[in-house]
Structures are given as structure tokens and as C-alpha cells.
Structure 1
Amino acid sequence: MPWYALLDADGAVVTHVVPYLRGLILDDNRPATTKSYAHDLLRWHRLLWFLGIDWDRATEAETSALVGWLRTAPNPQRRRRNPNSPQAGSVNPRTGKPYLKAGYAPSTINHCLTVVSGFYAYHRHYNRGPLINPVPESKAQRRALAHRAPDDELPQFRRARLRQRVPKTDPRSIPDGMWDEFFAALTCDRDRAAVLLYVSSGSRAGELLQVTPGDIDWAKQLIWVVTKGRDDREAVPVSPQALTVLAAYLDRIGLPAADQPVLRTRRGPDRPLTYWAMRRVIQRVNDRLGTNWTLHDLRHTAAMRMANDPNLTLAQVRVILRHNDLATTGRYLNARVEDLFDALQAHYTRPRVERTIAPGYDPDDFKAVFGA
């Protein structure tokens, strides 16, 4: 299992971070989680190195400086090289989805604060570091969640200082009216098979890209995937259409080795299709259609279709999507304006109802009884 370390400007290992990152692995966290925590700690230490402050002398003032920096600094992962790219934060007129803003998202800032807080809490347990955690905590949240029955409604509480307000947004999926043109823009059986597998199984991007020939049960129309955060394989149903297109693709390229993923690259040496290559497939479709769909929108599309199917219960959809909480699956029951276009047009064009009086009644009597 890989492990990560933090290096300073001279390339030396930052020793006081090593036991914390190794502890994350021993606590049964995934390597990707450890890597993410290491990046957050790198941001924190870069700030301390810039300010010339030792890690065990940090206070809330340095945490405030970190938050101020992240709120104003551009995110290098969202740098746009094409000058004709849509403006950051604008809304795509076709999909109704906003483009990512140029800076760090509020959830990213909150995650960084959580990591720094956990890092100092870890060292405080071993009587190292400052006596007071430099990241403020919400005492109201601690009291509200201290003694609560699992089935009780989550109580409201104020967020801690420096924590950012994260807006609640509904998941975005590809409407049925735009699905046909999206699918028609795919240019090969590999891409069609991948998209159909995504949208019929609801698998996450990384899960599907690891599927091998032995993970496909053709007779039962199932694929076996390694769920995020686990090591065990779980069965996920897929549509007959997806398996038909996948069979045509494998018949053309040949069946890979038993331990190799079935989705392969089309150019260069034969190798498994990566997340970034599959992401580029969706980007090429967006370039043709003028949309801004993402790879994860395919999972949202599958979830939206299943959750609103009257023949499936919400509990069944939760099992298929492998959500830990039923409330997460319930988010896909919300109707969207984009899906109600036809109903809204009928509502807007419906003529106004005019009141009429049945023959045999005197209009003056109606005015006297019901008013003008």
C-alpha cells in the first residue's frame, strides 16, 4: 500500500507530518484520502514557512491568514488556457449548469480546516504541539451532536468561526431531451459502451474503469466493481444495451487478459483507459454540443432515472447506487425546471379561464350573492 510524506523546499521530509499520515493508513483510510490530507497539510505548511512560524507555535491568527489566502487566491487546477473558454462562474445556456469559479470552493476551504484541526488534535493526544488547536471549533455543534438518537432530525447549529457557507445544490443530470444528442455525439463503440455502462449502473468513474473480463456476468447482466472506500467487489446491474455494445467493442479489439480492465486506449501502446482519458471523451462531446456535462453527471443521470421510476423503491435505488444514507438517494427525487419544460410551456400558453353563467340564471343575482 502506498504511503505519502511531506517535503519542504529543500526536499527534506517534514518529520512531524509522517506519523500523522501513517496513522491515517492504520486507521483504514484509503490511499487517496491520505494523499488529499497531505495536500491540505502542504498548503498549511507553505503558509507557515512563508510567515516564518514553527508548526507548534501556530495560532488562530495563522488559520485566519490561511482562509483569507484560499478565499482570494486562484485555484491552479481551474486555470483556463483557452482564451475563448467561458467565463469562470458563468452559466451554460444549454445545460443550466454553472462553470466552476476560478478560486477555491467553500467546501475545499472547510476540508482544509478539518485536516489541519485533525492534525493538531492528533499531536495534542501525544502532548505535542500547541495547547490550543489553531482551528476554531463550534461548541454549539459539539453540544448538539454529543447525545442524539440516530433517527432524530439533525439539530441546527451555527458553524464554527472561519468555516465557509456551503450552498446546497441539487445534483445535475442529463435530461432525456438532451440525452439522444449526447449519445449521438460519441464516435466509437468503446465510448458508447462506457457511457451506457455508466448511465445504466450508476457506477463512479474510477469504479467502472477497473472492471476486468472476470468482473462481467453476461448471463445475469451484472458487473462487479470495487466500491469507493472499500476493497470488496460488489455486484451492480447493467442494461442489456450496454452489454451488447460492450460485446461488439470487445469482439473488435479482442478480450484483454483476465486481470486487465476491459476499456482500453485506442491510440499508442495498448493500456487501460484512465480517468483523464475518459474525462477527455466527455469534453470532446461538450465541444461539439456547446454543453458542460461532466463524467460524474452520468452517475447523477442514472440516479435520477432510477429514483423517479415508479417500479423501483428508494431503498432499492440506494442499494444499486451503494449510498450509505437513504437521504443521499432522496436528493434525486427533486424535480428540476429543465425537466418540466413541456409542462411549463403548456401552463404559460393555456388560455385564461373566463367565468360564465349557465343559461337560466340572472347575472345580477350572482353579483348580489358573490359580488362583482
Structure 2
Amino acid sequence: MSFEVHRDLRSIQLPQWGRVVPTDDVIPFMVLDPQGQPVQPIRWFLRDFLARGHSAGSVRSYAFDLHRWWRFLHVIDTRWDKVTSAEVRDFVLWMGQAEKQRRTPRTTSAATAGQVNAVTRKQNLGDRYSARTIRHSNAVLRCFYEFVIDAGEGPLVNPVRRDRVRGRRANAHHNPLESFRAEGRLRYNPKLPKQRPRAMPDERWNDLFAAMRSNRDRAIIALGVSTAARASELLGMRGADLDWGDQLAQVRRKGSGMQQWLPASAESFVWLRLYLEELGPLRPDDPVWWTLRRRERSGEVLERWPLTYDALRAVLRRANTLLGTNWTMHDLRHTAALRMVRSQKLSLRDVQVILGHAHLTTTQIYLVEDDHEVLRRVHQYLADRKEPAPEPVEQAAVGYDADDLAVLLGGVPR
């Protein structure tokens, strides 16, 4: 049986097999084999995945997960259509102890990998795969094998199994007029550590804003902390997405792609105006955010390119190096959401609309007290206790002499 196959998982090193590349085809990303040919099962799946309304970013993410799975199968010498849950189990165990392969070795970040930052109290990214990454990989494999099994290919049973619901059989009370729904968690999903959103303290926000080196950088983080938009949503803005009269910014929501106008602060529009004056005329279809790159051929002439997510991360990386922090653009979203909830001027439903959450339960995570606020109040409490309480002043009742009362009660006359 395949369950009895013993593999030395610690010795497995994934080879440089194939690669994920962007394409000019309908499918924005493709997994190529070592000969440069598309891996056909993945190509079929990604085409169907894209047709179901998923974004290009999701296609890219799924392509990388499937590429990692193919490399693992290449090491253990198993065909993709012959796998069982034993291979998925070993893959999860391998990811749980393996170090991520990097294109370039760490430099300054090597000493802080996986450590908690002393300023932000956030953990830096480590060199191993996180529980969230493993769970995402399992979900991708489950979705992939559901597709190929429905198409009559692959194994007979989905190798990414679900655990049975305790105490009863899955879909025990299924309505035959309705489709079956998934029940039970994926069998080899690791548990996620509970994390609470944290707001950036005002003094830290001032430090981060002061570390920005251009009006463009000041404008985009000011817009992010006031609109609570995601980084990808801000980078997708066009010239027609700015309403200067009402100070609104239109974004396209991640996942659904819906267009939504979000109110922004007056300060962010001031920095936006200063940035656009430096940039020059902006047509309605032009991206709002641009950067300068050197032309590959000459290496001297600077050309204007749309600002990418990697370039925006580089902006924050420079600021973090200067400040000794590890802030991300998503911290600005958490900060904006927690500020809205704490203001008590907006309902939770208002915050849900601004954040673009489909369910109110997702927004409720911001009702939890932020650690920074709790620590601030406790510090204030401890500071108040250091001050000695004033001694009560004894006052004589009206009509009595204070010296006579002191003699009578054993005190010292004044």
C-alpha cells in the first residue's frame, strides 16, 4: 500500500524544474516544463479557473502552488494522476519543516527572520512555510483535482481528503433537489494561530510618513490609511477614479472586481495634487501611480512605468530600514479600520461597506481591543499609582474651635 511507503522528507530538496511565466495569451500565467512547453493539466485547469471569474492575481497564485506540487512529485517519482492522500500527507509534512527556496540569499534580513520586531511588535517573515501557506496549497490542490476528476482525468478519488463530521455522516440530511456541499475540514490542514489586527500608533504613523521621500509615496500611504483600501486596489486606480470635488477615490475590489467609491481625507488629496503636478497631465485611462525605470537597452534614459506591487514594497522596505520597523501596506488598512470602529461615529455596518467585506462577521474582528490601546491605558494606570494620594485635611465643624478639638482628641494644637 502507498501508506506504507517511507520517504525521508528532511532530505528532499525541490529541483529547479520548470517555471511560472506571464503570457500574452488569455491565461495570464502559465506553468512550463523544462522543455518550455505548458504543463497541460495545469493549463486546462487555469483556463477553467479564469473563466469562472477569478482575477489574474489568483491565477498567478494558483500557478505557483501547482508548480511547487509538480516539483515535489518529480522528486518522489510519482505521476500527478496516480497520487493518493499519502502523497498529500507527505507534501504537507515536508512543507512544515522545509525552508523556502529563495532566488537570492538574505542579507540584512537574515538576522531578523522569524523574529518579533521590537518597535512594531510584529513577527518578521521566516524562512519556513507558514500554516496559512500550507492551507492555501491544500485548497489549490483540492480544487485542481476536483476539476480533473470531473473531466474524467486523474485519480478516481480526490487525494486531498476531508475529515468526516464528528457524530454524523456528511450530508446525512441532504436534499436531493440541491447539490452536495462540502462538509468537514481538509484532513491535513494545520491549525492557524489566532491573530488580531493591530493599529499603527499615531506617533509611529508620523514617523513612517516622514520617512517617505516623494510626494507620490506620501500620497499613496495617506490615501491608504484614510480609505482602508488594499495595496492592489490602490495600484489599480485610473485617472477617472478621482473625484476632486467630493474627495472620493474609486477602487476595484479584490476578488469581486466591483467598483466602489471611497471617501478620502483632505490631506491625502493635498499630497495627491502635489504629486500630479510633478507628474504632468493624466488622462482618464492612465494609471494614477507611476515610477521611473532605466531603459534596459541604453541603461541611461529613464522611462515612466506604472508602479507595481513590488516597487511599492521597495518603498516601504527603505522606510522600514530607516526606522527599524516592518510595516506593510496592509497595516494601513488595519489602522484605518480600527480608527473607524473606535471613533463610535460609524456603525459596524458602515465599516463593513468601506472595507468591502462580504460578511459582517469578517468585520467583527476589529471589535477586539487593540494591544497598543490596552498597553497605553495600563501605562497610564501605573503612572497614576506612582503619585501619592493627597492626605485628607481635617476641618472642624462650624461653631467649634480647631485647637480645642485637637486637645480633646489628643492632637497637637496649631
TM class by shorter-chain length? Answer: 0.7 to 0.9
Q: 2:211 corresponds to which residue?
A: 185
Deviation at 1:312, TM superposition (A): 0.8
Partner SS state of residue 30, structure 2: coil
Question: C-alpha distance in 1, partners of 2:202/2:102?
Answer: 31
Contact 2:27 2:46 in 1 (8 A): no
Ranges in structure 1 where 5+ consecutive residues have no aligned partner: 149-156, 360-372
Instruction: Give yes or no for the alignment of 1:277 onto 2:311.
Output: yes
Worse overlay, 79-88 or 138-147 = 138-147
Correspondence 1:353-364 to 2 at 5 A: none
**Identity within the alignment, %:** 37
Q: 1:79 to 1:328 in 2, by over 3 A?
A: farther
Q: 2:165 corresponds to which residue?
A: 140
Worse overlay, 80-89 or 17-26 = 80-89
Instruction: Give yes or no for the alignment of 1:107 onto 2:132.
Output: yes
Instruction: Give yes or no for the alignment of 1:18 onto 2:52.
Output: no
Deviation at 1:126, TM superposition (A): 3.1
Match for 1:178: what amino acid?
R
2:146 to 113, 117, 121: 121
Deviation at 1:2, TM superposition (A): 3.1
Deviation at 1:160, TM superposition (A): 4.0
Higher strand residue share: 2
Correspondence 1:1-372 to 2 at 5 A: 1-76=26-101, 81-83=106-108, 85-140=110-165, 159-266=185-292, 268-351=302-385
Match for 1:27: what amino acid?
R
Contact 1:213 1:255 in 2 (8 A): no
Question: C-alpha distance in 1, partners of 2:258/2:305?
Answer: 24
Match for 1:37: what amino acid?
Y
Match for 1:24: what amino acid?
F
Deviation at 1:8, TM superposition (A): 2.3
Q: 1:362 corresponds to which residue?
A: none
Q: 1:151 corresponds to which residue?
A: none
TM-score w.r.t. structure 2 length?
A: 0.77
Question: C-alpha distance in 1, partners of 2:173/2:350?
Answer: 31
Q: 1:269 to 1:334 in 2, by over 3 A?
A: same
Partner SS state of residue 271, structure 1: strand
Contact 2:197 2:370 in 1 (8 A): no
Residues 293-344 of structure 1 deviation map (CA, whole Å, 9 limit, x = unaligned): 0121111111111121111111011111111111221212222232233321
Question: C-alpha distance in 2, partners of 1:283/1:112?
Answer: 27
Deviation at 1:187, TM superposition (A): 2.2
Q: 1:239 to 1:103 in 2, by over 3 A?
A: same
Deviation at 1:83, TM superposition (A): 4.5
Match for 1:107: what amino acid?
R
Question: C-alpha distance in 2, partners of 1:44/1:346?
Answer: 52
Match for 1:294: what amino acid?
T
Contact 2:160 2:186 in 1 (8 A): no
TM-score w.r.t. structure 1 length?
A: 0.85
Contact 1:97 1:172 in 2 (8 A): no
The size of the alignment, in residue pairs, is 350
Contact 2:223 2:268 in 1 (8 A): yes
Q: 1:243 to 1:56 in 2, by over 3 A?
A: same
Residues 102-148 of structure 1 deviation map (CA, whole Å, 9 limit, x = unaligned): 11111111111121122222222233222222222122189678879
Partner SS state of residue 224, structure 1: strand
Question: C-alpha distance in 2, partners of 1:284/1:134?
Answer: 44
Q: 1:144 to 1:316 in 2, by over 3 A?
A: farther
Partner SS state of residue 93, structure 1: coil
Match for 1:185: what amino acid?
A
Residues 157-216 of structure 1 deviation map (CA, whole Å, 9 limit, x = unaligned): 974432111112012331123222221222221111111111111111111122222111
When the two chains are superposed, the root-mean-square deviation of aligned CA atoms in Å is 2.8
